[in-house]
Chains A and B, each alone.
Chain A
Amino acid sequence: MAQALIEHVKKHCPGAVLQTHSQFGDETIVVDPERWLELARLLRDDPECDMALLVDLTAVDYPEREPRFEVVAHLVSLRLGHRLRMKARVGDAEGREVEIDSLTELWASANWAERECFDMFGVRFRGHPDLRRILMYPEFQGYPLRRDYPANRTQPLVEYRQVENIDKLPPFGPDEGMSFGRQTHDRRTSRDADGEN
């Protein structure tokens, strides 16, 4: 069903669809980021597509790729019962110029999804009415879900108490807390590298 949908999109927006693939009944199109909004409008308004619902909009960071980010939108037609995943690749290797058109004028649900995407990945949505952080606080520096954001970097809003050994305060010993967590894992791997184990 959705394969016909992809053919329909290709026919009406020639050259905009760069890649398609389908797996386990899920159809995906990779589109030209410059024509992101145009394709979204076609998918929403064309009676043969009729994608009334934007389920989610997010991004994926592939640091080894150029363009580095993939913005992903999941669309559903409630009337026709088909789904489509639409992707566009944006941004250079340093994570600058990550820009794409906003879908807020087509789906109201894109508003918060795009704010979250901006908050976590730093994707800037052109034409978004209120593009600011939604989960993190305004003082937060950087974008936490980018792969080059250090996994253990926190940015506290209040100064931590002036106590010795603030990482593990008594009564907690150095091994307590998350024994399965990254800190233990890091310690173990560094020990392995030293050849002590």
Chain B
Amino acid sequence: MGQVTESSTRIVEPQGQGFATTRLEPMLHWAQKYSLFMYPFVTACCGMEFMGLSSPRYDFSRFGSEAPRFSPRQSDLLWVVGTISQRQAPVLRRIYEQMAETKWVLAFGTCASCGGFYDNYTTVAGIDKIVPCDVYIPGCPPRPEAVLDGLMLLQDKIQHGDRTPAVVKPRFDPVADPGLGLTQIRRPSRV
């Protein structure tokens, strides 16, 4: 499963006895990215999408992110799925602090990423105000494909030891295409 793609890796085959040399860190990152132990911090409606994602149709255990651990001490990937209220923020912070190093955080959905439309007295406008966040997956809720993109993005970041936050871009964004006005994507029969 997977490949060690770092340029430091060398395949050496003297007299038919194959072995590979690599540096320790890429090897370690490679191992880490395919054995993510996740802690699902599921608070709101995105949880339904999360369940769909972990079931056979989308099945993110294909990516080595199979086993949910309901103890933060045994997990290294925190999935924050749903709205975080101010009242819940201390719980989230505490869960994060209890997790084993090295740990990553994934914001699932718009509410976890930036608060969404809950711009009010009760909601934390994005979990990054409480805990550092590695990958943001926008969407209300995000499509399963977007979440898989986010998971692969996180794996890529783990492989390269990159801790700068990243956001999952839409696979196709009609607004971003300059040659394509919004009216053009409508079916002619309905315009």
Residues of chain A touching chain B, judged by Cβ–Cβ distance below 8 Å, are 135-137, 144, 149, 151-158, 160-161, 163, 166-167, 169-172, 176-178, 180-183
Contacts and interface: CB of A to CB of B under 8 A. Distances in A.
Contacts of B164: 170
A158 B90 contact: yes
Given A136-B122, A181-B117, A161 B86 contact: no
Nearest to A181: B119
Q: Is the interface of A mostly helix, strand, loop or mixed?
A: loop
Contacts of A166: 129
Nearest to B132: A161
Given A153-B121, A155-B121, A171 B132 contact: no
Contacts of A180: 117
23 contacts: A136-B122, A144-B120, A151-B120, A151-B121, A152-B119, A153-B121, A154-B122, A154-B124, A154-B125, A155-B86, A156-B86, A156-B89, A160-B130, A161-B131, A169-B128, A170-B165, A171-B166, A171-B167, A172-B136, A177-B114, A178-B114, A178-B115, A178-B116
Nearest to A150: B121
A182 B115 CA distance: 13
Nearest to B123: A154
Given A153-B121, A172-B113, A172-B136, 10 more contacts: A137-B87, A156-B86, A156-B129, A158-B90, A158-B93, A166-B129, A170-B164, A172-B126, A177-B125, A182-B119
Contacts of B128: 161, 163, 169
Interface residues of B, number: 28
A158 B124 CA distance: 10
Interface of B: 86-87, 89-90, 93, 113-117, 119-122, 124-126, 128-133, 136, 164-167
B116 to A, nearest CB: 7
Contacts of B130: 158, 160-161
A155 B90 CA distance: 13
A174 B28 CA distance: 37
Contacts of B93: 158
B142 to A, nearest CB: 15
Contacts of B89: 156-158
Contacts of B125: 154, 167, 177
Contacts of B90: 157-158
B114 A137 contact: no
A160 B129 contact: yes
Contact of A171 (B86, B87, B165): B165
Contacts of B167: 171-172
B86 A137 contact: yes
Contacts of A137: 86-87
